[in-house]
A and B are shown apart, each in its own frame.
Chain A
Amino acid sequence: MRPEFTSPSSSSSSSADRRLNALVRHLATASTVSQTTVAFSPTSGFHGDSVFSHVVRAPEDPILGVTVAYNKDPSPVKLNLGVGAYRTEEGKPLVLNVVRKAEQMLLNDKSRVKEYLPIVGIAEFNKLSAQLIFGADSPAIGENRVTTVQCLSGTGSLRVGAEFLARHYHQKTIYIPQPTWGNHPKVFTLAGLSVKTYRYYDPTTRGLNFQGLLEDLGSTPSGSIVLLHACAHNPTGVDPTRQQWEQIRQLMRSKALLPFFDSAYQGFASGNLDEDAQSIRMFVADGGECFVAQSYAKNMGLYGERVGALSVVCTAADVASKVESQLKLVIRPMFSNPPIHGASIVATILKDSNMFNEWTIELKAMADRIISMRKQLFDALRARGTPGDWSHIIKQIGMFTFTGLNSKQVEFMTREYHIYMTSDGRISMAGLSSKTVPHLADAIHAAVTRMS
């Protein structure tokens, strides 16, 4: 009879005695299974094989890797036009005044606690986020047909939405524009969807390949999921016009294609929140369904706080409620419930009309500075007589310009001029200032004239 060893051991016997007793018990066991003997050396360093020995180092993330390389560069004239985080004229990151104010309010409120949020996050935040993107008067909201869940910025919202689709939707393929944000394919693949592309950018015009887009969406299987950048397409800055959006909408609804909007720049593109939400609102206004991933990283400067929301617009309230319950099942085993700090700041600002107005003013200032940088760069290239048509710089919108430079030219600019950007020629206008525009213009001019 093997003795049961169930109670916590007493501290009366010495450690060595207990060790010996344990050994004796093992050796006296009636039902012995022959095992390979193992060297009993409890204090030896066992530098045997790890089960993860075969793991190889992953390549640097192409976008975030740019900043890594930039940080290593000792040059005093280096310029970081890589990651899309806003910078002031002085090249500094910016925390909005209204955000600082909201932070202080939260800090001074002694009644605030740090308890777990519900799985879907802060209810007020969710409601206000839906109003922000769909419009306060949206019938979809009024009819309770929208479920909104707080997620970790745009990335997290896309991932949660995609995981839901992989589980509950009859089509498992998502069509993404060519090109798109580098992280999109991985987000959807890891969520369990397969990824295909549709034509979007036209390198010859540096504008929208509208015909190609319509053809490709027109030939997708009915019901397919389609990723749409709500405004300020990343990386190209090329957006459809209002009329083109209407055509896209009609085509998609006629084929029952499911729109999944990525809205990372509301207010940041044109400077006007409602203007930048038009594409989404057109789709919601026709009564159909869609997914929307919202981010507050750029438009509220909350980057590292990871604030975002996923909204699912359904055709009926009971459906929205069921969808929400299933979204919770996706979230719980991923991170249980979302982080409280950033969403609290957003809710504080959105619900106070004065703070909301302050925010729109600061937001417009950021958008205007970027538009100004575009103009300055365009003028600088024209002044240098740089060959080529550079009007796309002022036609494109949002944080990024797809310069049209090839990877050799990009490499040249990094090597000779210490300018850092992603190898697809995307530059973050937010990283420019009046002082640095000339340096960039020189670099582009040199790259274009000396490298083809």
Chain B
Amino acid sequence: MAIRRAMSGRIMDRTAVVGARYMSSWWRSVQPAPKDPILGVTEAFLADQSPDKVNVGVGAYRDDNGKPVVLECVREAERRIAGNLNMEYLPMGGSVKMVEETLKLAYGENSELIKEKRIAAVQALSGTGACRLFADFQKRFCPDSQIYIPVPTWANHHNIWRDAQVSQKTYHYYHPESKGLDFAAMIDDIKNAPNGSFFLLHACAHNPTGVDPSEEQWREISHHIKAKGHFAFFDMAYQGFASGDPEKDAKAIRIFLEDGHHIGIAQSYAKNMGLYGQRVGCLSVLCEDKKQAVAVKSQLQQLARPMYSNPPVHGALIVSTILSDPDLKKQWLKEVKVMADRIIGMRTALRGNLEKLGSPLSWQHITNQIGMFCYSGLTPEQVDRLTNEFHIYMTRNGRISMAGVTTGNVKYLANAIHEVTK
């Protein structure tokens, strides 16, 4: 104890220290960074003392009591894992078992592509990590390529490809007037992009708008992307969460696979398994053949190694435990449907309440849109009023996280929205 005290603290006589007069900071010129627009909302919410406060900011699921949920299948999986296994390093590519099961979800339970081993896949740090790994891979092997990102999109997409130093462009997506898809402009952008561009597509439950192309529209998108030789990269963060049925939510991907695209996919278990903080996901790249897949996977590992060496094991074990046990998997599918249904129910309730209040505006988009988010159409000023006058927290682009809506607060929320829009 005495040694500890003696060794830390000022044992060095300052005057004896060489270079003491050079002790100004190297970091004085570092500017304070702006707060993250999404995560900053929750910070502000937590600081608010009002009993009426509502958090419809960050996209994390809440039950009807506004509480975070740990799925029962996850609790059971954790019980089975604890005390049984060691904590050795995973391979650089992560848990093979977890990746195998994850590919089945995206590509199909009996996918020929999986059987033919044509998919290069590695465990990644949730959706963010999967996108970043792909962006780094894109930079390394297609350095002159551009990524086309929809407007709007999850804000971090821009950061990811920027930090990977991939040149980025945008394509039309959201149509503010109809609060739906700007399909014609989107197709135009696909046609006008230089051949061989990379397109970022949200597989389902577009974030932040909740506007998804119809099946028909996906087929056309696929056709035009194919005609231009573009690369389709899917960010699938909400499989199962959108419609309640993971197979249905993978439809866009399946269409592209049928059409023969060599796609890439970022998958996340943050929302659909409620594993947010565990950071579990998967990056996959469909290749021409098995040999290519081996090469691509090895290169993805080369990018992961200098970033974090190998991915965290705990979350991956939870996923593989659940997905490889038929009963647990069934339970998971049930629990995902419950979450998705609750959200769909809240959409109906919110729209219903607004219409009952006699709002002059159309709120059809609330039930047209799908997934966790609703792009309300509220202006930043209206959002500020909601926060300042009603203690309702959302991102300033008017994105409402439906997961934060409950039977307890939906009337209050509808009322407040009505007040600032009437």
Contact = CB atoms under 8 A, between A and B. Distances in A.
Interface string A17-48: 01100100000000001011010101111111
A114 B8 contact: no
Given A4-B184, A341-B278, A155 B309 contact: yes
Interface stretch (B102-110, B291-299, B405-413): B291-299
B312 A315 contact: no
Interface in B259-296: 259-262, 270, 274-279, 285-288, 292, 294-296
B82 interface: yes
B309 A153 contact: yes
A319 B30 contact: yes
A104 interface: yes
Nearest to B228: A35
Contact of B215 (A9, A57, A64, A336): A9
B11 interface: yes
A326 interface: yes
In this complex, the interface size class of chain B, counting residues with CB under 8 Å from chain A, is 35 or more
B279 A338 contact: yes
Contact of B214 (A9, A168, A170, A332): A9
Contacts of A156: 307-309
B277 A337 contact: yes
Interface in B21-57: 22-33, 36, 39
A351 interface: no
B143 to A, nearest CB: 12
Nearest to B135: A333
A46 B141 contact: no
B277 A107 contact: no
A326 B74 CA distance: 34
A282 B60 CA distance: 44
A6 B178 contact: yes
Interface residues of A, number: 118
Contacts of A38: 223, 226-227
Contacts of A54: 141
A107 B260 contact: no
B227 to A, nearest CB: 5
Interface in A314-336: 314-316, 319, 321-323, 325-326, 328-330, 332-336
A114 B308 contact: no
B33 A55 contact: no
B184 A114 contact: no
Contacts of A51: 142, 145, 196, 231, 262
Given A22-B219, A45-B260, A107-B78, A314 B27 contact: yes
A54 B143 CA distance: 13
A95 interface: yes
B330 interface: no
Interface in A330-360: 330, 332-342
B122 interface: no
A278 B6 CA distance: 11
Nearest to A25: B220
A416 interface: no
B313 A333 contact: no
A55 B231 contact: no
A55 B143 CA distance: 13
Contacts of A302: 87
Contacts of B83: 100, 103-104
A46 B260 contact: yes
A435 to B, nearest CB: 21
Contact of A339 (B14, B19, B23, B314): B314
A335 B126 contact: yes
Given A6-B181, A253-B17, A303-B88, A137 B196 contact: no
A286 B68 contact: no
A281 B8 CA distance: 7
B310 interface: yes
B82 A103 contact: yes
A93 interface: yes
A74 B43 CA distance: 56
A45 B113 CA distance: 11
B334 interface: no
A250 B90 CA distance: 41
A221 interface: no
A44 B5 CA distance: 74
A286 B20 contact: yes
B302 A306 contact: no
A36 B305 CA distance: 42
Given A156-B308, A304-B312, A306-B310, A169 B26 contact: yes
A107 to B, nearest CB: 5
Interface in B146-205: 156, 159-160, 162-163, 175, 178, 180-184, 191, 196
B277 A287 contact: no
A342 B314 contact: yes
A95 B26 contact: no
30 contacts: A5-B183, A5-B217, A9-B214, A35-B227, A46-B259, A64-B91, A85-B88, A107-B79, A112-B70, A114-B74, A119-B39, A135-B8, A168-B27, A191-B306, A250-B19, A253-B19, A253-B20, A254-B19, A281-B8, A285-B9, A286-B12, A287-B20, A332-B156, A333-B132, A333-B163, A336-B129, A337-B279, A339-B125, A339-B279, A340-B278
Given A114-B278, A339-B312, 18 more contacts: A40-B223, A42-B258, A45-B260, A112-B70, A115-B277, A135-B4, A152-B308, A153-B309, A159-B307, A170-B26, A183-B305, A305-B312, A319-B28, A322-B31, A334-B128, A335-B125, A337-B277, A342-B314
Interface of A: 2, 4-9, 18-19, 22, 33, 35-36, 38, 40, 42-58, 61, 64, 83, 85, 93-95, 99-100, 103-104, 107, 112-119, 134-139, 152-153, 155-156, 159, 168-170, 183, 186-187, 189-191, 223, 250, 253-254, 256, 258, 274, 278, 281-282, 285-289, 297, 301-306, 312, 314-316, 319, 321-323, 325-326, 328-330, 332-342
**What are the 6 closest A-B residue pairs judged by CB atoms, nearest first?**
A46-B260, A135-B8, A304-B313, A340-B277, A333-B159, A152-B308
